[in-house]
Structure 1
Amino acid sequence: MTATETAIATVTLTIDGQSVTVPKGTTLLKAAAKANIEIPTLCYLKELAPDGSCRMCMVEVEGGRKGGLVTACTEHAKDGMVIHTQNEKIRNSRRFVLDLLLSNHKLDCFKCPSNGDCKLQDYSLEYGLLETSLHGRRQPANQQDVTNPFFDYDPEKCIMCRRCSRVCQLRQGRDIISISHRGFDTKMLPCYGEDWDESMCESCGNCVSVCPTGALSSKDQRHFRTWETTKVRTTCPHCGTGCQVDLLVKNNTIVGAEPANGAANRNLLCVKGKFASYKFVASGDRLDTPLIKRNGQFEKATWDEALSLIASRFGALKATYGGSSLAGFSCSRSTNEDNYVFQKMMRTAFGTNHVDNCARVCHSATVHGLAQTLGSGAMTNTIADITQDVDTILLIGSNTTEAHPVIGSQIRQAVQNGTKLVVIDPRKIDLARHAELHVQAKAGTNVALINGLMHIIIENGWADDAFIAKRTEGFEEMKALVADYTPEKVAKICEIDPADLIKAAELYAKADKAPIIYCLGVTEHSTGTEGVMSMSNLAMLVGKLGRPGCGVNPLRGQNNVQGACDMGCSPFDFPGYQKINQPGVVEKFERAWATDLNPNVGLTSTQVLPAAIKGDIKGLYIFGEDPIVTDPDISHVRKALENLDFLVVQELFMTETAEYADVVLPGISFAEKDGTFTNTERRIQRVRQAVQPRGGAREDYRIFCEVATRMGYPMAYPSASQIMDEIASVVPTFAGVNFKRLEAIEGLQWPCRSQDDPGTPIMHVGEFSRGKGLFMAIPYKPAKELPDDAYPYLLSTGRMLYHYNTRAMTKRTAGINQLAPHSYIEMNTQNANEMGIKDGDKVRVYSRRGTIETYAAVGDQVLPDAVFMTFHFPDGNVNEITNSVCDDIAIIPEYKVCAVAIEPVK
């Protein structure tokens, strides 16, 4: 029998009188489900191997051993089996199990937050048990642990199914929860029996989501019961992972969130998705009416007043100075449909290509770099493909468990299943503890390090010569350049051990399946685009592109930053990366949009602000971005905004940037609209309206249509679905995408070129998008600003787990603020001791651009003479002192390297 025949071999059995045929190796539980026969379970989790501990899924096998009773979740189907799932013998077995559980269970269902959503309650009612027949000692009362800011634990309601510990260990990869004590004192506790708030628990809430009773319950569950709510499936509004989530809605208010079985998250969420993806929607400080600044103060205005003023002022600036005096920043947190209409408004009504999005300050280097070397500036493989069934993961410049937590969890799962992890990062990030090798290279030396890896691979004969010859060009020039990057030379530049470099090269090159995963630690440099091209060089060198378990995989930051780029919110590109300076493209969109268009490439956001200081940019429309918080060298941003003749900000809240506006327009959140987001793996997924907008806030794309119409370019769409239809008509890679198809499947990954195209999980199969992959010979260049005697510490910036970007959404969840209340600077113990600084002390941090105060986090996360800060907090906003110097190609700022000085605050 061949391997294929073995794989499709089937068995036929009888279950409750029904004949069922299933693949060999199928459990009885799954075989019964195929026949629409439900077998009760309490411990079973479909994503994990069966546990078989609860004994609720017992069934009878005719003629079987030991009375024929087996657990359906562990027993495999065999030819000729006759199975009974509901005879009296089985039902008595299940009643006995339930009786035992009830004997040690607090029966206060009316008070329980899980009343109506409890499997123990459901089964007890089904099997006729209203109380236990057993009496005697039981779990002691009044042991509730309510210390976690998001959920409570009550041991009296725990049935010891171990779902919580298994999902924590085997899916979240944390192993925080375990069985403690013995006998009637047995309970599920965090490690060492400490309270939840003292443990290493990161509050992802996945244990709460899988608990079958009320033992673990969200604090928000006190205010609703499941039967009062409706579920709305949508896409998480935080990072680019694209987790599917079910919002729980009661009386037009979102009261909770549950993980859904999406392709990217497979029933997992992080703390932000579970507990902070919805509270900001109903926040009392939401903008709900237009505001016009008069005499330095904002006053409420009607929509007609605000829109008339916007059209009049922008129209006058356009008439006087031309369309190129105007610019717009689009929103990477809003939908594809909003972004498409925004850039269309800017190009048609405003007459400018000065339109950009926040990718400029995070992954523009990816878009430019991979487009040049491979032909497409996007992630090549899928999240599942690069975290399941891979031999080695090469993780570079990505603090995945904090910036993309659910992907980070899947990487931890991969390591548990035997994958070797190589981490290249200047910080001792969480995943470094799980790694086969951590190469703690100095920030800003990525290009040298990758050149060194390629040198070693070539010298040892590990390159894929056949792949290089058939599918690439430019190899000889690259080979000649990296010949000079010996392990010893690179080790000196990167301040690492040459043996680690050699080991990393061998682990990656010799693995059959080995993806490169990277993030902003590669892109946010003055050589960011070169760093991305180096990733491409390395993957092509060993033939790890265009096949499963491999590829070059940038993890995009915001929930729809991939989509904002796809939709043409770029000064270089129309939608679908159709280049403005490519022959015929402008003419194509002039025909599609029935107007004349500006044929000149626009300015990036990092060029617009300096141009505003010089007076070349007169008017700016900012949709959902907050550059006063996010851009480097904030004093420079303030000067730019103050020098504008007219500024419009469209937002959910009165952000720091909105304070500078002449007009503020209230938009609506992801939960109040229909549309799509495109996640980091190019997967286009639905966003569905869960609640009605509050107050007078309007749908964002309808505001853009009204502004464009008042400025002389009539534009209107009846729904987001019709906008996607227009996108499909002008973007070849979206030609097969529409809302009807997106309802039927787990999203579509572009390119998707026709209605029968299933999408493209893996890019560059057989041929690169540009034809042949291009090797680039890239010499190492040091960062633009390095430490010296006056500023002796090398500062790098990044994200943390609990807050997201400007905190506009996450700070409106109290539990998040409790866990992460203020800014901090990570310092090495050696440096802290030299300055007499202790953990938690207040310190002053200087750069050539400004000064901030923050709190010291002392340890070994960073190397001596290196420091790290996040940019989430208004107190000690690191972007007051970061360097605005940019990459020459993508014009991306160098957030990852600048020089600072530190002193204690007395």
Structure 2
Amino acid sequence: MTNSVAEVKQADVIFITGSNTTESHPVIGAQVRQAVKNGTKLIVADPREIDLAQDADVFLKIKPGTSIALSNAMLNVIFEEGLEDKTYIEENTEGIEELKKVVQKYTPEMAGEICGVKPEDIRAAARLYGQGVRGSILYCMGITQHHNGTESVMSLSNLALATGNLGKEGTGINPLRGQNNVQGACDMGALPNVMPGYQQVTNAEVINKFEKAWNTKLSNNVGLTIPEVMHKAAHGDVKMIYIFGENPMVSDPDTHHVEEALKNSFVVVQDLFLTETAELADVVLPAASFAEKDGTFVNTERRVQRVRKAVNSQGEAKADWMIFMELMNHLGYDKQYKNVEEIFEEIRQVTPQYAGISYDRIEDIGIQWPCPTEDHPGTKFLHTGKPARGAGLFMAVEHVESSELGNEEYPLILTTGRILYQYHTRTMTGKTEGINQMAPESYIEMHPNLAVSLGITNGETVKVKSPRGEVRTKAKVTKIVDENVVFMPFHYFEGAANVLTNGTDLDKYCKIPGLKVTGVKVVKIIAR
């Protein structure tokens, strides 16, 4: 997040898109509702009439995969009506002319056709956001998990830059992280193209720095993303996969392909429980839970926080850092750590954003990076004064429809997501009786008119098919989706949504799969 969570209450307008915030991020969702209660205007864009739609001043029930068209149309109105921040654009940005050329054709009428919403609602949203003094954009994987997810984020960045909603409190472009330490994992270089602190692996100076710090030779080649790993493993080009705290047999697209990849590789799984993925592993390394170890987590607002051991581990389980250290020792890298604080001190030495953070400083409350020195208070919001790159770069991007659409055999659009009562792949929540009473099984939401046309009743078991496979699940008849859109939560192994999704239609920049748009058909099961 460019800004802090609590700052949503200082915004005078919030634009939420691609995020079912009250269910996926309920603490942030509660703060959004507090802001609205205190007078903040709210715009919500989502393919489903999520709970926050009831609180919104403008709700745009957009067709899945059309976010870029919506952002471009909002910019069209903002420029047409002179709502842009001309001074901020002139002093802090570049590329405005090219952007204006592209968005000029995205009239509310044109975008309304693409998105499936009324042109006047697009105008209303643009005016609300454009007239706001402090506008905050909140988004999640409904924006990023598309074949053009990176460009969808760019289109939101264009909105913020054009209206000067960057570098001050209550504003910003704020991605909401899906799990508790996603931010920390990325900070530590758990991405194929960077070292810790987002230092590029292709930069010779960066590699030289880490080779000296770690006293070993390092590759400067960009690695593979998860979909690329699975593809190459299925074809025999990746021989071994080490899976740490993930359950791709439920969470990753095209489950049959994932299973093929895992069965074709030597698989090590490090996890708390014997997950669906761990059942296919050659070796399982039992890991300790968060309550059984010391360390740090980094939350969605970049806050580095202490985690303290509360109970002893069960059985043979060990803290992750101990497993990694022992493994690298066996592989010939003889580095010994006494405790997690010693590891954190090494992190500080090689990661500029963390240089000023120490265990003593985060004893009581965490610090938000960047924190370059020990007398620095941390950074509440980014891009103060000017964007970090010197000039904010407008990126003129076009709406491009997913290849999943337009298939007569699979005419419905499946989109997936989370629900309040289950967490990720149910590795932990699936073992809790009370939670499973509230949300016990997979289901597919469908509009009443669609259900009638297919002869399907609420609660009936149906078959859902895509080019990747088919599953059985329960029908949930509801008007919160449009007639040609269906929704499934991805949490469940039985009736798994990701059996259906596409793992090959990848974003050209970051290679994320287009999980949020899948062509499917729903079939009534005829008793024989």
TM-score by length of 1: 0.58
Letter in 2 for 1:882: T
SS at match of 2:122: helix
Cross-structure match for 1:391: 12
Letter in 2 for 1:669: S
Letter in 2 for 1:501: I
Letter in 1 for 2:401: P
Cross-structure match for 1:624: 245
Deviations 1:493-527, CA, capped at 9 Å, x for gaps: 11110000000000001011110111111100000
Letter in 1 for 2:412: Y
Report the CA distance between 1:883 and its aligned residue: 1.0
SS at match of 1:832: helix
Q: Pick from 379, 397, 405: which aligns with 1:786?
A: 405
Distance 1:583 1:546 in 2: 31
Cross-structure match for 2:158: 537
Q: Pick from 384, 387, 401: which aligns with 1:768?
A: 387
Contact 2:67 2:152 (C-alpha < 8 Å) held by counterparts: yes
Cross-structure match for 2:23: 402
Letter in 2 for 1:815: G
Distance 1:788 1:614 in 2: 28
Q: Give runs of aligned pairs for residues 263-412 of structure 1, distance below 5 A.
A: 379-386=1-8, 388-412=9-33
SS at match of 2:88: helix
| 1:669 counterpart = 2:289 | yes
Contact 1:706 1:715 (C-alpha < 8 Å) held by counterparts: no
| 1:812 counterpart = 2:431 | yes
Distance 1:509 1:515 in 2: 11
Contact 1:748 1:758 (C-alpha < 8 Å) held by counterparts: yes
Q: Pick from 457, 460, 464: which aligns with 2:81?
A: 460
SS at match of 1:762: coil
Report the CA distance between 1:583 and its aligned residue: 3.1
Whose RCO is larger (CA < 8 A, sep 6+)? 2
Cross-structure match for 2:59: 438
Distance 1:459 1:548 in 2: 27
Report the CA distance between 1:833 and its aligned residue: 1.3
Q: Pick from 209, 218, 221: which aligns with 1:600?
A: 221
Q: Pick from 657, 682, 695: which aligns with 2:302?
A: 682
Cross-structure match for 1:733: 353
Cross-structure match for 2:475: 856
Contact 1:787 1:900 (C-alpha < 8 Å) held by counterparts: no
Cross-structure match for 1:560: 181
SS at match of 2:177: coil
Deviations 1:545-601, CA, capped at 9 Å, x for gaps: 001111100101000001000000111000000000123111100000001111211
Deviations 1:152-189, CA, capped at 9 Å, x for gaps: xxxxxxxxxxxxxxxxxxxxxxxxxxxxxxxxxxxxxx
Deviations 1:637-679, CA, capped at 9 Å, x for gaps: 01111111x2111111111111111111111000000111111
Distance 1:804 1:787, change over 3 A: farther
Report the CA distance between 1:787 and its aligned residue: 4.3
Distance 2:460 2:214 in 1: 58
Cross-structure match for 1:469: 90
Letter in 1 for 2:127: E
Deviations 1:470-489, CA, capped at 9 Å, x for gaps: 00111111111111111111
Distance 2:415 2:163 in 1: 31
Deviations 1:782-826, CA, capped at 9 Å, x for gaps: 112114321121000000000001100101111000000100000
Contact 1:516 1:553 (C-alpha < 8 Å) held by counterparts: yes
Deviations 1:738-763, CA, capped at 9 Å, x for gaps: 1111004x210000101111000010
| 1:528 counterpart = 2:146 | no
Letter in 1 for 2:2: T
| 1:488 counterpart = 2:106 | no
Contact 1:721 1:739 (C-alpha < 8 Å) held by counterparts: yes
Distance 1:456 1:692 in 2: 59
Cross-structure match for 1:883: 502
Cross-structure match for 1:615: 236
Moved more, 651-660 or 525-534: 651-660
Q: Pick from 520, 524, 528: which aligns with 1:904?
A: 524
Q: Give runs of aligned pairs for residues 140-179 of structure 1, distance below 5 A.
A: none
Letter in 2 for 1:412: R
Q: Pick from 488, 494, 514: which aligns with 1:894?
A: 514
Cross-structure match for 1:700: 320
Distance 1:545 1:697 in 2: 45
Contact 1:787 1:794 (C-alpha < 8 Å) held by counterparts: no
Contact 2:445 2:478 (C-alpha < 8 Å) held by counterparts: yes
Report the CA distance between 1:602 and its aligned residue: 0.9
Runs of 5+ consecutive residues of structure 2 not aligned to the other structure: none
Cross-structure match for 1:316: none
Q: Pick from 437, 461, 466: which aligns with 1:842?
A: 461
Letter in 2 for 1:834: S
Contact 2:204 2:220 (C-alpha < 8 Å) held by counterparts: no
Runs of 5+ consecutive residues of structure 1 not aligned to the other structure: 1-378
Contact 1:513 1:549 (C-alpha < 8 Å) held by counterparts: yes
| 1:638 counterpart = 2:262 | no
Distance 2:77 2:3 in 1: 26
Q: Give runs of aligned pairs for residues 96-111 of structure 1, distance below 5 A.
A: none
SS at match of 1:739: coil
| 1:573 counterpart = 2:203 | no
Report the CA distance between 1:778 and its aligned residue: 0.5
Contact 2:10 2:169 (C-alpha < 8 Å) held by counterparts: no
Distance 1:841 1:579 in 2: 51
Deviations 1:242-296, CA, capped at 9 Å, x for gaps: xxxxxxxxxxxxxxxxxxxxxxxxxxxxxxxxxxxxxxxxxxxxxxxxxxxxxxx
Letter in 2 for 1:384: A
Letter in 1 for 2:436: N
Cross-structure match for 1:871: 490
Distance 2:204 2:393 in 1: 23
SS at match of 1:456: helix
Q: Give runs of aligned pairs for residues 188-267 of structure 1, distance below 5 A.
A: none
Distance 2:267 2:142 in 1: 32
Distance 2:105 2:56 in 1: 29
Distance 1:583 1:529 in 2: 26
Report the CA distance between 1:835 and its aligned residue: 1.4
Cross-structure match for 2:277: 657
Report the CA distance between 1:836 and its aligned residue: 1.8
Report the CA distance between 1:616 and its aligned residue: 1.4
| 1:416 counterpart = 2:76 | no
Distance 2:407 2:395 in 1: 32
Distance 2:196 2:108 in 1: 43
Report the CA distance between 1:604 and its aligned residue: 1.1
Q: Give runs of aligned pairs for residues 80-159 of structure 1, distance below 5 A.
A: none
Contact 1:702 1:716 (C-alpha < 8 Å) held by counterparts: no
Distance 2:98 2:280 in 1: 50
Contact 1:396 1:517 (C-alpha < 8 Å) held by counterparts: yes
**RMSD in angstroms over aligned alpha carbons?**
0.9
**Could you list the runs of 4 or more consecutive aligned residues of structure 1 that deviate by over 2 angstroms after TM superposition?**
none
Q: Pick from 736, 747, 753: which aligns with 2:372?
A: 753
| 1:505 counterpart = 2:101 | no
Contact 2:203 2:220 (C-alpha < 8 Å) held by counterparts: no
Distance 2:433 2:356 in 1: 42
Distance 1:562 1:477 in 2: 33
Cross-structure match for 2:342: 722
Distance 1:543 1:768 in 2: 11
SS at match of 2:204: coil
